[in-house]
Amino acid sequence: MKIALAQLNYKVGDLEGNSRKIIEQIRASAAAGAGLVVFSEMALTGSPAGDLLEFDELTGRSEALMREIAAECRGIAAIVGAPSRNRTGRGKPLHNSAWMLAGGEVKQLIHRQVSVNYDVADDSRYFEPGAGDITTGINGLQLAVITGDLTPEGALPVNRRTLPEGVSLIISIAASPFHYNRPLIRRKAIRGLALETGLPVIYVNQTGANTSLIYDGGSFVSDAGGNVIRELPLFSEAVEVVEYDASWSGGRPAPEVVIDEEERDIALIHDALILGIRDYFRKSGFKKAILGLSGGIDSAVVMALATEALGAENVYGIMLPSHFSPSHSVDDAHALAINLGCRADIIPIEEPFHTLEKSLKPHFGDLPFGLTEENMQARIRGVILMAMSNKFGYILLNTSNKSESAVGYGTLYGDMCGGLAVLGDVYKTDVYRLARYINRNGEIIPLHTIVKPPSAELRPDQKDSDSLPDYDILDKLLFRYIEKQNGKQELVEMGFDPGLVARVLKMVNANEWKRYQSAPVLRVSPRAFGSGRRMPLVAAFPG
């Protein structure tokens, strides 16, 4: 039997649009001779639908559309992920279901049997685990269908004991959001599932970004040894028809998948951010981006990514020099804009800063220049950028990185303004790696931008190193604390300086309130700020 793997990009809440997309692929797959087409989990509603799932109207419309989709399934069967009502009268009102469609009707519902709750997953808020048979027969082929996500540990949703006799193929439709180790984690999980059950596995993911979460696709077919025999591309829509045959049931055991938790593939992060920017704009109905262009590494990388995602004609840089800005900052920013083909203008902030300084002089008296005056400059920049954004209908891209956000090295309502934090889940050391990757085929980001010491340029001769530890050390410590949840004593035992640990952890914890008000972050790590890391604003631990 020929089976079509439909790896599509869905928009959350766009039931009619997603339904049309699903029907188009059912028809195209039937024309290609497929007997079955497989779509991902929650394909109809998009994922994650969040509290939209609490609207009964959405559920009712979803179920009506599923019946319309089923009517298209004549001469072809389809597996489509969508919510279904929990009719037991117990627990949550919905199930997370795989809808089995054939013969023009809904043949079977297979519910997710175990709630998935980790990081960004929050199944138990909406879905009741279901019971019942997870197997179904299509054109004489007995299938087991898995709707559960592949957990970070690669735990197996089924095993040899739980599967009945006669099953020949496992199909997983887990909508699995991206982080830089996620493709390897899936491979590890599917390899384990194949070896545990002795069965081949088809895995169908979705692609596209929905606010912070990015789905990378990467659907594939694995033989019974866990070897990948067919694979769909990452970060793009694709539909591929494969033909199930007896060779899938063989295969030597695939090599063990080794995951280095501290290894980050910068090419994957780059491609994920491009998709995240593009879909945030496209699905929000916007085309044009604006950003503050400082001549520094962060804004340079954001502008380069936005240009690739949206096109040079849709990216607008504003240079906002102060009397503390060296001439090379404007020169570097201008050179970047020329290299990218983007429009860039200069709006100096010296005059509005002095006006504000003069207005506050009667109240500030003879108090010395300090952090307040630095933040005033950052907020003037924020006001100008937001004014341009409002006036022309652009989305302001925030350029803060994860290292700065972690320790509070940013000004709320100033350089933390924006509708989307492109680098909010990228440590500073990886921002430099991104810059070099962007320049892999020639200089786009000026070399001087990459090699000069980073600075906020809010006081004379300011450098980040005046306030922060070296980024090579800081990022290693932050990774262990944020991603791996290592506590103060564990960090010291790892060899980090006790004074540095105490200082950094204090900065991270004291600035939770800033992050709570910051722009949504494109998630590329296993633990991003936002819905994946839920910390109290006021807490004593870890001291």
Dist. CA 399–CA 366, nearest whole Å: 34
pLDDT of residue 191: 93
Q: Is the pLDDT of residue 357 over 90?
A: yes
pLDDT category, 151, cuts 50, 70, 90? low
Ordered by start, the domain boundaries in the chain are 2-249, 266-464+510-516
Dist. CA 282–CA 288, nearest whole Å: 10
How does DSSP assign 84-144, residue by residue? EE-TTSSS-SEEEEEEEEETTEEEEEEE--S--EETTEEGGGTBPPP-S--EEEETTEEEE
**pLDDT averaged over the chain?**
92
Coil/strand/helix, residue 319: strand
| Mean pLDDT score, 47-64 | 95
pLDDT category, 165, cuts 50, 70, 90? confident
For residues 80 and 68, is the Cβ–Cβ distance under 8 A? Answer: no
For residue range 411-422, what is the model confidence (pLDDT) as tens digits?
999 999 999 999
For residue range 64-122, what is the model confidence (pLDDT) as tens digits?
999 999 999 999 999 999 999 999 889 999 999 999 999 999 999 999 887 776 677 77
Which helix (H) or strand (E) covers residue 242, if one does?
strand 238-243
Dist. CA 520–CA 420, nearest whole Å: 5
* Unique residue bearing structure tokens 């070296």: 470
- Tokens, residue 459: 């006081």
Of 97, 101, 36, residue with least CA distance to 70: 101
- Tokens, residue 276: 């995240």
Q: Is the pLDDT of residue 148 over 70?
A: yes
Could you tell me how many residues make up the chain? 543
Cβ-in-10-Å burial (0-12, 13-18, 19+) of 249 comes to middle
- Straight-line distance from the first to the last Cα atom of the chain, in angstroms, rounded to the nearest whole number: 61
Of 247, 178, 175, residue with least CA distance to 6: 175
Coil/strand/helix, residue 201: strand
User: Could you tell me how far CA 22 lies from the centroid of its own chain?
Assistant: 23
Q: Is the pLDDT of residue 311 over 80?
A: yes
How does DSSP assign 416-438, residue by residue? T--SEETTTTS-HHHHHHHHHHH
Beta bridge partners of 2: 243
Q: Which residue has the higher pLDDT, 24 or 263?
A: 24
For residue range 358-370, what is the model confidence (pLDDT) as tens digits?
999 999 999 999 9
pLDDT of residue 258: 92
- Tokens, residue 225: 């040894």
Radius of gyration of the chain (CA): 26
pLDDT of residue 359: 96
Q: What percent of the chain has pLDDT over 70?
A: 97
For residue range 193-204, what is the model confidence (pLDDT) as tens digits?
999 999 999 999
Query: According to CATH, what is the number of the domain 266-464+510-516?
Result: 3.40.50.620
| Mean pLDDT score, 189-213 | 94
Return the ∠ at Cα 492 (arms to 486 and 496), rounded to 5°.
100
| Mean pLDDT score, 457-486 | 86
pLDDT of residue 154: 44
pLDDT of residue 415: 94
| Mean pLDDT score, 26-31 | 98
Cβ-in-10-Å burial (0-12, 13-18, 19+) of 492 comes to middle
For residue range 384-395, what is the model confidence (pLDDT) as tens digits?
999 999 999 999
145-154, 379-388, 500-509, range with the lowest pLDDT: 145-154
For residues 438 and 447, is the Cβ–Cβ distance under 8 A? Answer: no
pLDDT of residue 454: 79
pLDDT of residue 445: 97
For residue range 220-264, what is the model confidence (pLDDT) as tens digits?
999 999 999 999 999 999 999 999 998 999 989 999 999 988 889
Question: What architecture does CATH give domain 2-249?
Answer: 4-Layer Sandwich (3.60)
Beta bridge partners of 239: 6
* Unique residue bearing structure tokens 């994946």: 532
Q: Which residue has the higher pLDDT, 161 or 335?
A: 335
β-strands 94-102, 238-243: how paired?
A: unpaired
Beta bridge partners of 397: 420
Q: Is the pLDDT of residue 532 over 80?
A: no
Coil/strand/helix, residue 169: strand
pLDDT of residue 150: 63
For residue range 507-519, what is the model confidence (pLDDT) as tens digits?
999 999 999 999 9
**Cis preceding linkage at 542, omega within 30:** yes
- Tokens, residue 260: 């280095």
Q: What is the pTM of this model?
A: 0.94
For residues 114 and 157, is the Cβ–Cβ distance under 8 A? Answer: yes
Q: Is the pLDDT of residue 155 over 60?
A: no
